[in-house]
Amino acid sequence: MEPKKDYINRKPEEFDAESIDELRKLIEFHDNRYYVLDDPVISDGEYDAFFRRLQEIETTHPELITTSSPTRRVGGMPLSQFETVTHRFPMLSLQNSTSFGELKEFDERLRKIAGEKIIDYVVEHKIDGLAVSLTYENGHLVMGATRGDGTQGENITENIRTIRSIPLKIGFDGILVVQGEAFIGLKNFAKFNRAQEESGGKTYANPRNTASGSLRQLDSRITASRPLDCFMHSIRNYAEIGLKFHHEALDYLDRLGFRVTPLREKARGIEEVFKICDRERYERDKLDYGIDGLVVKADSFALQEKAGFVARAPRFAIAFKYPPREGTTTVLDIRASVGRTGVLTPVATFEPLLLDGSTVTHASLYNMDEIER
């Protein structure tokens, strides 16, 4: 998309509805290149000039401001509280597995349900963030909500609008419900904490809690100042669109302009799933976002519907969790901590150790068996 020179040189009052819409589309194009594709084609200065011009134009023509305008990402007036909303589709939790034996049992149950000798799966990263559900109507983002109890969550639409990698407008007619995981990348988290420290502000312990707390701010301007990102992992009303497989849904989300987890690999049978799990155990150290395992999901929507759910968890998907990360550091001191009941617990202070984006400096030594091991 080629920028028009008069976007910058023309006076704000010379813009009409059509030319304002063209400028919005230009900014949306560059948002997608930068935040979704990670492949910008203009400088930050050029982008800022387009964005400032749009702000000036909308100030001159407030009657032409739209809810999906890129300027809505900067946040608005604080809320007194979040509204509770009922999800169109439940936001489910996954059952966990920590061994190939448990994965094999899952596969056996699913093959029995399917009446098949082998199942086609899709394996994805399980992002360590905050689950969100987004609803679009005729291409416009109208609702963003937290998981809550799975049936009801909090309306955080204004905060969701501030996340640059989430499109405010998509090329889709009708209703689209998508779910994903909001997070803060490891490099962006470190950069954000450095900026906080330099300005004398509060620094934060880890990306996951920071992302969760940022999305639950009543003042969306605070949320807008945080480097939030989001990967989408599912389309809930896939049947209305005519999709038959999960991998098709992920590709469709990609084409609509959403960020989708880079790992979305098809696996023919559980043995191929094992190979992916083994490989990603070591590849995860290279990622710029935290994961707490992998998600293994039946690819066929027909099989997903046949398998159904047990309690609040689907029977067609399972999480594979890796062992907790470990590291080596040097103990600097050991002191006794007095609990509320008067019990003394030894607490070690050690050289800062970075694990999964969190800097750890203290640990309780109450478990002597673990210490000796």
> What CATH number is attached to the domain comprising 187?
3.30.470.30
Count of helix runs (H) and strand runs (E) in the chain: 13, 16
pLDDT tens per residue, range 153-202: 999 999 999 999 999 999 999 999 999 999 999 999 999 999 999 999 99
Residue 18: both structure tokens together: 């059509």
pLDDT higher at 4 or 317: 317
Taking a C-beta distance cutoff of 8 angstroms, is the pair 166, 195 a contact? no
Give dist(CA 366, CA 373) in Å, integer.
Answer: 13
CATH code for the domain of 30: 1.10.287.610
User: Does some domain include residue 87?
Assistant: no
Query: Is residue 155 domain-shared with residue 196, that is, in the same domain?
Result: yes
Of the two residues 340 and 328, the one the predictor is more confident about is 328
**pLDDT (tens digit per residue) in 34-50:** 777 767 888 877 888 88
**Number of residues that this document lists for the chain:** 373
In a domain, 81, yes or no: no
The whole-number pLDDT of residue 39 equals 77
- Burial class of 343 by CB neighbour count within 10 A (0 to 12, 13 to 18, 19+): exposed
Cβ–Cβ < 8 Å for 356, 285: no
What's the total number of domains in the chain?
A: 3
- The per-residue pLDDT for range 251-297, each reduced to its tens digit, is 999 999 999 999 999 999 999 999 999 999 999 989 999 998 999 99
Q: What pLDDT is recorded for position 231?
A: 98
Task: Indicate which residues carry an active-site annotation.
Answer: 126
Please tell me the distance from the alpha carbon of residue 261 to that of residue 255, in angstroms, as a whole number: 14
Assess if residue 326 is contained within a domain: no
Q: Tell me, yes or no, whether 290 lies in a domain.
A: yes
Q: What is the DSSP letter of 164?
A: T
pLDDT score for 192: 96
**Based on the domain organization, do 112 and 223 belong to the same domain?**
yes
Residues 347 and 284 both lie in one domain: no
Task: Classify residue 1: in a domain, yes or no.
Answer: no
For residue 319, what are the CA distances in angstroms to 109, 268, 296, 311? Answer: 15, 18, 6, 16
CB 119 within 8 A of CB 273: no
Range of the domain at 271: 94-320
Same domain, 159 and 281: yes
User: By CB neighbour count within 10 A (0-12 exposed, 13-18 middle, 19+ buried), where does 229 fall?
Assistant: buried
Please tell me whether residues 159 and 219 are part of one structural domain.
Answer: yes
Note the pTM of the prediction, 2 decimals: 0.79
Structure tokens at 119: 């199942």
Q: Domain check: are 50 and 176 in the same one?
A: no
pLDDT at 121 over 60: yes
In a domain, 82, yes or no: no
Give, in order, the Cα–Cα distances in Å from 112 to each of 40, 117, 297, 303, 317: 48, 8, 16, 11, 15
Residue 69 pLDDT level (bands cut at 50, 70, 90): confident
Domain co-membership, 219 together with 100: yes
